[in-house]
């Protein structure tokens, strides 16, 4: 099994986390929603797998390219 790092594509604030550790996530499945400039931007899984870690919490600020979760694919 390969470890896959899920990164934020934009700078923003974590608005809502939709998944929990242990969930099976499909490829392009939504893991969380970021808010930036009053827009909601989904963070999607680059591959399907099991969600192993969530590295941020709701309300946290994230930078573009920051790791926000890991999957085991």
Whichever domain contains 27, its CATH number is 2.40.50.100
Q: What percent of the chain has pLDDT over 70?
A: 100
Q: What is the DSSP string of 5-61?
A: EEE-SS-EEEEEE---TT-EE-TT-EEEEEEETTEEEEEE-SS-EEEEEE---TT-E
pLDDT of residue 28: 96
The total of structural domains in the chain comes to 1
Which is nearest to 33 in space by CA: 55, 12, 63, 2?
Answer: 12
Question: Largest alpha-carbon pair distance within the chain?
Answer: 37
pLDDT above 80 (res 1): no
Domain that holds residue 52: 3-72
pLDDT of residue 70: 98
For residue range 8-59, what is the model confidence (pLDDT) as tens digits? 999 999 999 999 999 999 999 999 999 999 999 999 999 999 999 999 999 9
pLDDT of residue 57: 98
């Amino acid at each position: 099994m390969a470890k896959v790092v899920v990164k934020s594509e934009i700078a923003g604030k974590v608005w809502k986390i939709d998944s929990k550790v242990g969930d099976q996530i499909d490829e392009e499945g939504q893991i969380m929603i970021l808010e930036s400039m009053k827009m909601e931007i989904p963070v999607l899984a680059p591959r399907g797998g099991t969600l192993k870690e969530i590295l941020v919490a709701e309300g946290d600020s994230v930078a573009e390219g920051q790791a926000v979760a890991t999957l085991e694919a």
